[in-house]
Structure 1
Amino acid sequence: MPELPEVETVRRGLAPVMEGRVIAAAQVNRPDLRWALPEGMAERLTGARVLRLGRRSKYILAELSTEETLLIHLGMSGRMLISGDMPGAFHHPVAAPQKHDHVVLDMDGGARITFNDARRFGAMDLIDTARLGDHWLLADLGPEPLGNAFHEDYLVARLKGRMTPIKAALLDQRIVAGLGNIYVCEVLHRAGISPRRKAGRIAAPRVARLVPVIRAVLEEAIAAGGSSLRDYRHTDGELGYFQHSFRVYAQEGRPCLTPGCGGTIARITQSGRSSFYCPQCQR
């Protein structure tokens, strides 16, 4: 599933053709994706201006002039693709309709945005903007890892006394929003912390040092356009490239890249997910 860097990359790709633009026509081709789509969604979207395109955790949020916000979740295979007129001199021919094009937005600037989702694990919803924070997908989320509310003192306090493995703690969206399996594996390797370690038994200074590592990994991944594994694509259909910088994720059996380590990357299963780490240098 796309994690924060992939979703942020998509948001940045959509912003130039959506922000400040009116949805001239909305087409909804089925009643549901992962869950039922909002009643009258096409009519509620048509004519609305996109005031701001934001992101919360792994969700794209389009604030509309109608005092509603469109929530977009890509799920496992969802893609937001742009065709038609692009900013500047670029033009991409409007794509022919595909089998899994479930929602199509024609913007007044000439761009067409298509939500394509072969497996329909994605989702969309329309939410009263004034009550956005109460939505069941957003209400319990922790702070954004790139925001000011996520800092060393916060993380030390939240992990204090927790007997869950540090891997599970960092995947808990109530503690920090947007982190997923790939980037937690990469963060723990850079920090030299085993994914097996109990979160509450890691010394406070080591926990504090996780914060800048988390930010660095996410910022590098965003700069690389995210990681393309299986279905993920940019809004222009191109792949992300951070997977070429993986130090541990999916690197089982390969030499550890930590200078002077000499260890070999191993894979274990934690809560049904694969964890990749170096038993030699991650303690």
Structure 2
Amino acid sequence: MPELPEVETVRAGLELLLGQGVVIRELVLQRGDLRAPIPRELPQTLRGATITGIRRRAKYLLFDTTQGILLSHLGMTGTWRLAPPGDERSHDHCYLHLADGRRLAFRDPRRFGLLDLVQPGSEASHPRLKDLGPEPLDETGFTVDHLLASCRGRRQALKPVIMDQQVVVGVGNIYAQEALFRAGIRPTRAAGRMKRAEAIVLVGHIRTVLAEAIAAGGSTISDFRQAGGDGGYFQHHFQVYDRAGQPCAVCGTCLTGAVVGGRGTTWCRRCQR
């Protein structure tokens, strides 16, 4: 599933492709079989709306318009692309016909994605947004004190805690493993046992790993594509993710793999304590 760097890469790409002040001439729903029903009023509400900006919140894309917000989640295989006439593909769920003649398409073969409408003024109370934690790159929201408070007294393994979207958003399986490796902390460590000095290091590495992944255009494991169609490149810098049984890039120890919090996880028994 695309994580924060992949979604941020798509957001930036769409912003660059669309430019400023683009008007939605018509929104056409091709099929409605995503994980949640697409609101029936979406085409009518956004007809004639001007896109004033594209934001990211957690793993969601928010198309700000003069008539409401188009909320999108990429799920496992969702993509947005410019689709000129003749570029119709199976599993295209939605077409945004723009007033300048271009067409934007949302495609999701595995159908875990989402298209929803957020009415003006209701973003803070929207059920998919209201319980989200702080952004990891926000130094005033995601702090060492916040992380320690979220971990205090918890026997749960640390890795699923930092993947909890109510604790901090956007840190998925890939980047949780990479940040924990750099911080020298085992993903199986009980969250409540983390010391302040370790939390300081971990918060810093979460930010660094995410920033490096954004700069590399995200990670393409199988399906992820940027808005322009290119893949990401951060997968070439993985130190532990999906490398169980291979030597540690730092010490040469055979990396350990196990399921932690329901997700495949890799770590180094020597480098991570």
Report TM bin, short chain.
over 0.9
The structural deviation recorded for 1:133 is 1.5
Q: Normalized against structure 1, the TM-score is what?
A: 0.92
Specify the alignment match of 1:15 in structure 2.
Answer: 15
**Aligned 1:254-273 pairs, distance under 5 A:** 254-258=246-250, 261-273=251-263
**Structure-2 separation of matches of 1:13 and 1:110:** 19
**Structure-1 separation of matches of 2:40 and 2:19:** 23
Tell me which of 225, 236, 246 is aligned to 1:233: 225
Structure 1 residues 223-259: Cα deviation after superposition (integer angstroms, max 9, x where no partner) = 111000111111111111111100000111211112x
AA aligned opposite 1:265: L
Q: Normalized against structure 2, the TM-score is what?
A: 0.95
Unpaired segments ≥5 residues, structure 1: 85-93
The structural deviation recorded for 1:18 is 5.5
Stretch moving more, 246-255 or 146-155 = 146-155
AA aligned opposite 1:115: F
| Identical pairs, percent | 45
Aligned residues: 271
Specify the alignment match of 1:64 in structure 2.
Answer: 65
Specify the alignment match of 2:150 in structure 1.
Answer: 158
- 3-state SS in 2 of match to 1:61: strand
The structural deviation recorded for 1:32 is 3.6
Tell me which of 88, 99, 102 is aligned to 1:111: 102
Structure 1 residues 165-222: Cα deviation after superposition (integer angstroms, max 9, x where no partner) = 1001101111001110000000000000001100111111101211111110000000
Q: CA RMSD in A?
A: 1.3
Specify the alignment match of 1:79 in structure 2.
Answer: 79
**Structure-2 separation of matches of 1:25 and 1:239:** 29
Unpaired segments ≥5 residues, structure 2: none
**Structure-1 separation of matches of 2:226 and 2:234:** 13
**Aligned 1:167-182 pairs, distance under 5 A:** 167-182=159-174
AA aligned opposite 1:233: R
Are residue 195 (structure 1) and residue 195 (structure 2) matched?
no
Structure 1 residues 35-55: Cα deviation after superposition (integer angstroms, max 9, x where no partner) = 110113222222111112101
